[in-house]
Amino acid sequence: MSDNPILIFLTCCILMSCGLKEQAGEKTLPNILFIAVDDLRPELNCYGKSHIHSPNIDKLASRGVIFNRNYCQVPVCGASRASLLSGTRPTADRFVDFATRLDEDFPGIQSLPEYLKNQGYTTLSRGKIFHHANDQLDAWSETPWSPASGNPEYGWFDYADTNSLAIIKRAWASSPDSSRSRVRGPAFEYPDVEDSVYRDGKLALKGIQDLERLANDKKPFFLAIGFWKPHLPFNAPKKYWDLYNINTIPTSPNPFIPEDAPKNAIHNSGELRNYGLIPHTGPVSRDTAKLLTQGYYACISYTDAQIGKLLDAMDRLKLTENTIVVLWGDHGWNLEDHTLWCKHANFETSMRAPLIISAPGRTQNATSNALTEFVDIYPTICDLAGLKAPEHLDGMSLTPLLDHPDQTFKDFIFSRFHQGESIKTTDFVYTEWIDPKSEGTTARMLYDHRVDSLENKNVVDDPKYADIVKKLSTRLLERRNASALKKSGILN
Ligand SMILES: [Ca+2]
């Protein structure tokens, strides 16, 4: 560089000007922290359930909007995630079961992470985002990363207690190779161990490392972190179990089949019955029901603590002011509601799912009671980032609710599980099961949430509801017809 001080000064001014210009262009897109929590039902302190210890999700909610009447598209892992991440609705033959792959069910569709990557984002998948970590690999800037189970020889169950390991080892040894994929250990355990012994603890530490690296990156990031708990088995460190008193723990207010419910609506809770000490048929004992409930709550609090570590890292790294945080559970969960455990049903307890969005400059510490659904997440993120949403999306941006949470939004939303198609309005939820061959209706149910929020009596055959049944059935038919036209390419 020249020794001329004036020339040095002018050169520095030019370099600084270029630097500032570049800097201004680098972070015009907001970062996105995308937190998935497997099998989390909307039972959290910030949802008004004060018996749940969830201080960190509560903190996130205080910085954003709780979508209190949000619904999944399909109440099972893989299908729900494929729908959410593609921004498209399920059909009778698309996004059906837990093992759904987006790249098989909807090849060529541009998923949310792929779209953001193409817009200049660094996109990272950590833990359980797609059900299959190798689904849509091109959507990610790096190969998806997940911590290994503590005992991978017995699958993904991640037991840490020596008794649990002995039980699954015996079950494994006594099972033929062909049935080992269904071999489970106990449904829960509570060893006195550190958070990082289990995968979700390791995942939080990895997420913090990612945030530290990404904070210094010039590109905006979409960091997707998917926690496994509170999915079965309910394995969590003892200190989280100790937050709950089994003698006073609340259990389901309606552990019975709704009056006049069709048999299609009820299942045998098969996912739970694969685990040790759970009977193959019939109700579990009262003591077991309480232990399962305590374990589910303990796993919520364990995951909440891991989320807190990520939020603390965001604050420390000064990322909070320029980062959108979206937290979602992939569907609801039954704690013996309607006799059911797990998900896989068309009731509110399976369909309603958590959604919290904290976006810089938007409303904080508020709750929206508008009807929303998971297909709305993709267009919302596009909108918040100032990006044009792709044409294929089925949902609507939630940004009007992020600015004015009290307003209404949709008149109805749609969910489905296998052949059961549901339409939900502010006051009603109507479900009909369609035979795939004849396309005839094989069963129906209607619940009036104005007088029956727990869905204890199916009133579909009550004459006084005939008009509403007809109206909602027509809406479902229109939905089916629109899906068929879209599939045929006649509609976008
Ligand atoms: Ca799930």
Q: Is residue 476 part of a domain?
A: no
Protein residues within 5 Å, CB atom, of ion ligand 1: 38-39, 77, 330
Q: Which residue blocks in 257-398 are alpha helix, DSSP H?
A: 270-273, 286-316, 348-351, 377-385
> What is the distance in A from the centroid of ligand 1 to the CA of 341?
13
Cα of 402 to ligand 1 centre, how many Å? 26
Write down the pLDDT at residue 207.
98
Report residue 489's pLDDT band, with 50, 70 and 90 as the boundaries: low
Asked whether residue 488 is domain-assigned, the answer is no
Q: Where are the alpha helices (DSSP H) in 91-189?
A: 102-105, 112-118, 162-173
Average of pLDDT values for 187-198?
Answer: 97
Task: Give Cβ neighbours of residue 193 (< 8 Å, ≥ 6 apart).
Answer: 160, 237, 238
Q: How confident is the model at residue 488 (pLDDT cuts 50, 70, 90)?
A: low
User: pLDDT-based confidence at 19, cuts 50/70/90?
Assistant: very low
Within a domain: 472:
no
Q: Are 446 and 476 contacting, i.e. CB atoms less than 8 angstroms apart?
A: no
Classify residue 31: in a domain, yes or no: yes
Distance 331 CA to ligand 1 centre (A): 6
Residue 104's CB is within 10 A of a number of other CB atoms, namely 12
Q: pTM of the entire structure?
A: 0.93
For position 330, which CATH number holds? 3.40.720.10
- Model pLDDT, residue 17: 38
Going by their DSSP bridges, the two strands 420-424 and 428-434 should be labelled as antiparallel
Q: Give me the mean pLDDT over the 88-109 stretch.
A: 95
Report yes or no on 15 lying in a domain. no
Strands of the sheet with 323-329, listed across from one edge: 122-127, 221-227, 31-37, 323-329, 355-358, 65-71, 366-373
Q: Quick check: is 483 in a domain? A: no
pLDDT mean across residues, the chain: 92
Residue 179 is predicted with a pLDDT of 74
Answer yes or no: is pLDDT of 471 > 60: yes
Q: Is the pLDDT of residue 477 over 80?
A: yes
Quick one: which of 285, 195, 299 has its CA closest to 244? 299
Q: How far is the CA of 342 from the centre of ligand 1 (A)?
A: 9
- Is 1 within the bounds of a domain? no
Q: How does pLDDT run across 286-330, given as a tens digit for each residue?
A: 999 999 999 999 999 999 999 999 999 999 999 999 999 999 999
Is 441 inside a domain boundary? no
Q: Catalytic residue numbers? A: 77, 131
pLDDT score at 10 = 46
- Which of 71 and 174 is assigned the larger pLDDT? 71
Of 328, 318, 396, the residue nearest 358 (C-alpha): 328
Give the tens place of pLDDT for each residue, 109-148.
999 999 999 999 999 999 999 999 999 999 999 999 999 9
Q: What is the pLDDT of residue 23?
A: 40
Can you give the residue range of the structural domain that contains 43?
26-410
Q: Check: CB of residue 354 under 8 Å from CB of residue 64.
A: no
Q: How far is the CA of 147 from the centre of ligand 1 (A)?
A: 18
Domain total in the chain: 1
